[in-house]
Amino acid sequence: MRLYEFEAKKILSEFGIPVPQGKVITSSEQAKRFAEDLKKPVVLKSQILSGGRGKAGGIKFAQTPDEAYSSAKELFSLKIKGFPVEKILLDERLEIEKEYYIGVTLDRLNYKIVVIASSEGGVEIEEIAKKHPEKIKKIGLDIDEKLFSFQAFGLAKMIGIESSDIRTVGNIILTLWKLYKRYDAKLVEINPLVLTKDKKIVACDARMSVDDDSLFRHPELEKMGVEKRHEEGEMTQREKKAKEWGIPYLDLDGEVGMFPGGAGFGIMGNDFINYFGGKPANFMDSGGGPTPERLAQMLVLLDENPKVKAIFGARFGGISRCDDFAKGVVIFLKEHGLSKPMVLRMTGNMWKQGLEIFEKAKKDNPELFKNIEIHGIGTPIEDIAKRAVELAKKAKK
């Protein structure tokens, strides 16, 4: 889960790593005022949860408070990857002599924490890795191993830091590793770490991502206002609602509403829809053995979404029983009704009993089921996906 640049810099700064003088602003007036206070040229950086901010025009420089005002105004009217800029970090503009990269990340494959440094700061580390792999220096550590100062000094030395600066840069590397461990991070990077014209070492830009699953032991992050969020991009209103309900849910661009069981099938089902010429409107995961209440919430999310033209339902009764599942859906249909066509396949544990429940409910009230097609083990799931795509196309016309 990614932190905003200003959050990451706040943490760096609390750990004693020098960052530019700066402030988060939410209005153009604030930009002007703060630029006046600073009495320096400034840089205005849109605070968004994604890379490529520069290319999207999300960063602007300003010489005067008035320029800061107008730049901020421009940025606040900008949408980056579909999301409006709501916060800007206004930093003093550094006079840069040289840029470096330092970072700490996770090597999942080798189960190591990797401390990385490069003389080629200012570009993405993946790019440096492609173009100048020899300019990247690494130390891999086990989770219970310590990074020693001398190792950090050595790393600084290896990327060409002057002897007189290796303690300063080495200590920043060491601090970065400590901070990584302290916050259960997945990634912390300073890119670029800057040597300014007046020979200061400053963390010009910072990126930090923490392990969502360790948040329970980091109440201090919550105190800072850091809540569960995406690794990239902002949450939509519907995603926030789903989050409140505890349902893993993502909005996507398409028209087929996904009502699956299980995260794995949720992911694969989305592919199926695409394979068969459709586009899913969402990703969703029911969790194991969803309650009638949860089933209702899931269907509400789809029913209320105008983009959804048809619903693809799939249920493999495992631990949870298909009869319970069918009962839950029927309750929902009776109480709320469903305005979209749905094709549903139900198989696994007690699937026959489940189908019987549906059959009975349909007999009692055919109207509720007029847009719903229910299949059992006889129909491959692939055919269900195809049918959902068809239904969506038909509904669109």
Partner 1 sequence: MAILVDKKSKVIVQGITGTSGRFHTERMLKYGTKIVSGTSPGKGGQKVFDLPVYDTVEECVKNQNADTSVIFLPAKFVLEAAIEAIYAGIKLVVVVPEHIPIFDMLLIRKEAKKHGSTVIGGNTAGIITPGETNIGIMPDIAFSPGRVGTVSRSGSLTYYVADTLTRTGYGESTCVGLGGDPVLGSTFNEILSLFEEDEKTKAIVLVGEIGGVYEEKAKETIKKMKKPVIAMVGGVFAPQGKRMGHAGAIVEGEMGTARSKLKALEQGGAHIAKTFLDIPEILRKLRI
Residue 77 within binding range of partner 1, rule CB under 8 A? no
> Under rule CB under 8 A, which residues in 340-369 are in contact with partner 1?
347-349
Query: With CB under 8 A as the contact rule, which of the stretches 8-16, 89-97, 158-166, 295-303 interacts with partner 1?
Result: 158-166
Of positions 58, 103, 280, 328, contacts partner 1 by CB under 8 A:
280
Beta strands in 153-262 (DSSP E): 185-196, 201-203, 206-210, 249-251, 256-259
| 74 vs 211, beta carbon nearer partner 1 | 211
* Contacts of 209 by beta carbon, 8 Å cutoff, 6+ apart: 1, 2, 3, 185, 186, 187, 188, 231
Query: With CB under 8 A as the contact rule, which of the stretches 63-71, 87-95, 315-323, 357-365 interacts with partner 1?
Result: 315-323
Question: Cα–Cα distance between 323 and 272 in angstroms, integer?
Answer: 26
Residue 109 within binding range of partner 1, rule CB under 8 A? yes
Query: With CB under 8 A as the contact rule, which of the stretches 94-102, 114-122, 312-320, 358-366 interacts with partner 1?
Result: 312-320
Question: Cα–Cα distance between 133 and 151 in angstroms, integer?
Answer: 20
Query: With CB under 8 A as the contact rule, which of the stretches 12-20, 31-39, 257-265, 334-342 interacts with partner 1?
Result: 257-265
> Under rule CB under 8 A, which residues in 9-38 are in contact with partner 1?
none
| 109 vs 397, beta carbon nearer partner 1 | 109
| 96 vs 252, beta carbon nearer partner 1 | 252
Among 67, 92, 120, 189, the active-site one is 189
CA neighbor of 290 nearest in space, from 342, 327, 340 = 327
* Contacts of 32 by beta carbon, 8 Å cutoff, 6+ apart: 65, 66, 68, 69, 72
Residue 262 within binding range of partner 1, rule CB under 8 A? yes
CA neighbor of 82 nearest in space, from 222, 235, 201 = 235
Residue 153 within binding range of partner 1, rule CB under 8 A? yes
Contact (CB, 8 A) for 24 and 87:
yes
CA neighbor of 97 nearest in space, from 191, 201, 189, 169 = 201
Residue 78 within binding range of partner 1, rule CB under 8 A? no
Is 249 catalytic? The answer is: no
Count of residues interacting with partner 1 (CB under 8 A): 71
CA neighbor of 392 nearest in space, from 333, 334, 340 = 340
> Under rule CB under 8 A, which residues in 376-395 are in contact with partner 1?
377, 380-382
> Under rule CB under 8 A, which residues in 120-149 are in contact with partner 1?
126, 142-144, 148-149
C-alpha dist (Å) from residue 355 to 1, 44, 123, 252, 313 = 41, 60, 57, 30, 14
> Under rule CB under 8 A, which residues in 164-203 are in contact with partner 1?
164, 166-167, 170, 181, 184, 186
The token pair that represents 231 in the structure block = 């690794």
Among 69, 101, 183, 249, the active-site one is 101
What sign results for the dihedral spanned by CA atoms 315, 321, 327, 331? negative
- The distance from CA 56 to its chain's CA centroid, rounded to whole angstroms, is 18
| 109 vs 223, beta carbon nearer partner 1 | 109
Least distance from partner 1 to the Cβ atom of residue 376, Å: 12
Residue 244 within binding range of partner 1, rule CB under 8 A? no
Residue 65 within binding range of partner 1, rule CB under 8 A? no
For the chain, what is the total number of helices (H) and then of strands (E)? Answer: 13, 18
Residue 213 within binding range of partner 1, rule CB under 8 A? yes
Q: Which residue has the tokens 């195809």?
A: 386
Omega of the bond leading into 192 within 30 degrees of 0 (cis) = yes
| 49 vs 338, beta carbon nearer partner 1 | 49
Is 101 catalytic? The answer is: yes
φ and ψ of 218, to 5 deg: -130, 65
C-alpha dist (Å) from residue 368 to 30, 198, 259, 335, 339 = 55, 74, 18, 10, 10
Residue 396 within binding range of partner 1, rule CB under 8 A? no
Of positions 216, 219, 225, 237, contacts partner 1 by CB under 8 A:
216
Least distance from partner 1 to the Cβ atom of residue 311, Å: 18
Question: Cα–Cα distance between 19 and 41 in angstroms, integer?
Answer: 16
Of positions 113, 221, 326, 329, contacts partner 1 by CB under 8 A:
113
Of positions 18, 41, 65, 154, contacts partner 1 by CB under 8 A:
154
Least distance from partner 1 to the Cβ atom of residue 323, Å: 13
Active-site positions read: 101, 189
